[in-house]
A and B are shown apart, each in its own frame.
Chain A
């Protein structure tokens, strides 16, 4: 007797083969979607939002593309998730991780079709991933001790990362920007200290790194435009009406004259507060919140530069750069640490006026000003630069470096192939499949560049037959070349994260033999 209804209305259940099919197809569709953006000659995608304004994003950053997709297939969601994690964790390789997971599943599908149990495939994949990781570990180069070499490594890595992005034309310029910025962080991974200001106009080449700090604000009218040897008080305090915070307090008066008196008292209070602030011996005051006209005028009278409404990140960075503390009370002027810098001046970038703090005490933070033809270009440049910065900051901590251009994949594939030959049993098919999936990445890179991938990859494979080969695909000249000469490097951390997360995701999807979808929650009709 069949069960009439086990689940709620609209809840669906897919089993066995069908479930596996659904997840394979979904995952592969996602992988195919981002596949064409892989590599230095990868193409971009236009994303149009469904929100008001239909804003357009042009990008080839895998994580950005996947984030903006609305996906219903649960397996596809797993891939989107790994790409997001990759972005959070190492910043780059967001496309590669999805493509690799997709390829692993594509190979797995073939194996499932010839009746190999998913669990066998998984255990094969696991062995292969472990073996591939060890192969990479053997080949890593660590130049941490040698500062010169390490810097050139960083330079190479950031050029490799940037070469697949919109910035590839000026990659040397930007690579230098990124390396300089990251070196200033001195090992910290806090990328917030690097501020990126986007100003449309000019060309990408005009972008520059500023040693000091640039605040996207104007200087109040009537206040000095240039201060040397500035003493800066960074504050987060209300400079409008200082409200009484005691609960339940309210003003209740019975005549107009009383109102005037209280207003007077308020003004006196504000004046006192300003006086207290000025008595810190400062000549620049930066506040996170608004500064009303009245206190602003008082500051102007005292010859103090007052900057209002600097956003929270700006304040934090400024505090970091100038070495001051963020103050909210002003009763003990002697013990508040003031920020210092050599020069504050108003500068012009394009048509906008900005405030520039230079000669700061702590050189940890810096600002990169991006220039470009349109806001789309700038957004994409921002994302690319962010990727590069992330990779670099991670590499500073974990300085192991690999060659690029499909070299790591070839090394892994070779090691995995050898393992397959040594392994008895059905697992060896899965291990072989893993190596095929690894080879798919250089193939796709070559395909995207319009090269003869079959020819190139087979050449590469022959090259790698020798021990210690450094050959990889040189997409620019369209041939197999020596990656050491070309200076193509990648961070070990990125490759490792790609390998492990892709295997983990593939494993997870493979293990599924049933998909149960609950009825979608009803949205309130917005009538």
Chain B
């Protein structure tokens, strides 16, 4: 699985500290040991578990991970997922992350694990949406393979896929312009670009694209443009149910289909013209030589 990783920005020491403030008043076994205080222990136990004694695998030195412990990444994942609920109110900010951490029973200091501009939260959200889209498309593909659904024509497929993906923004639409600008920060561009290109490639793959020539790039570039412009239109759209956006999307996809048909036609016309010219040239040269022979 080609995954997009984005590096956690703070050491895991912070997560140790934040767990100390949880409601169960767990006595952290390592708090007393100054050596372990500065090591990066493996991510702690689930906060919902009952307080347990000192865990045998706390060896301190970048510890062993067993199945009882979630990794740092899983912890971050859970915090960010919980934080999404608070985005409509607080925006893509450390406040939302702090609120999310609170619902998991962690300290608000958990927000310190992340950048203050909410980059990771946004990237996490985009990644989750893309995964949801892939699963949706895979399910649809299975239905078609089992004969339980009709195979959609390409333009309809693309339209539906882009619409499905954009609809995932609706709960967060008011704060999305802010998110877009953060995704364009130079620091975030590699990650956001990779997420975008992977998503577009996924859509084309499930649409049945099998090009192995330059069309591979053309098609993806066209779909990326359609997606990005439709997303921007959606930000400005105040029509009921975003119907203006979906109409815009339909028109752009139709344009793309027309362009590709026109391109094919231009090519065949061009080839026909060239053949005609070659024929004329041969005729003229034959007429010339036959006159010379006479």
Is the A/B pair a real complex? Answer: no
